[in-house]
Structure formats: C-alpha cells, structure tokens
Amino acid sequence: MTSVEAIALNRLIISEGARFPEMSRIFFDLAPYHTRVHIAEYLEGAMDRRQLRKADPLDAGRALMAITLVGCHQQLLIGQMQAASPVQIDRDAVFAIDIFLRAYAPMS
C-alpha cells in the first residue's frame, strides 16, 4: 500500500482513469473491490462470533479501507512524503483500528 510501486500504480490509475475508464474499472475490480470483499468476509466472521457489532460487512470493510488511506498513504500519493517509516505506518494502523473499533466494537 505504501511501496513505491503501489503509489506509482495508484497515481497512474487516478491520472488516466478518465481517459481510460475500462482500465480503472479493471483495476478497481481486481484490487480495491477484491480486497474489500476479503476484508468483509473476515469481518462477517468476527461479527458472527460477536467480536464486532453486527453491521453490513461490505460497508464495514469499506470504512476500514477508507480510514487506512488517510495517513501516510495520502501524503505519499500527493508527493508530500517520499517514504513512510515503519513507525509512521504503525501509528497510522493503530489510529485506523482505534477509529474502526469505536464504530464497530460489540455493544456491551
């Protein structure tokens, strides 16, 4: 997600998606959507085990993916950071999980 190659691919899709909508659709289906489905399957299991509150697992996966992209990933995409340190990546992950669990922790 923060590798040089991943950032370059994201930039390419963003910059050329309007000119080549089929390319951006293929990318979305193979990467973000496919990942969201896998995350949703995992989250649905956690919801079934009552580790997370019951909700639409695809929406929960979409929310989790969105909050993971607002830290160093966004800064890398727009060129405000050349590389993310392991400390920054960890900090962003902890922040995202904290927000996610505030929304989806099981009700006591």
Dmax over Cα atoms in the chain, in whole Å?
50
Burial of 12-43, coded b for 16+ CB within 10 Å and e otherwise, reads ebeeeeeeeeeebeebeeeeeeeebeebbeeb
Q: What global pTM score does this model have?
A: 0.84
Rounded to the nearest integer, the mean pLDDT of the chain is: 95
Residue with tokens 């405000």: 80
* pLDDT for the residue 1: 85
35-76: per-residue pLDDT in tens? 999 999 999 999 999 999 999 999 999 999 999 998 999 999
pLDDT for residue 86 is more than 90: yes
1-34: per-residue pLDDT in tens? 889 999 999 999 999 999 999 999 999 999 899 9
pLDDT band at 108 (very low <50, low <70, confident <90, very high): confident
DSSP class of residue 71?
S
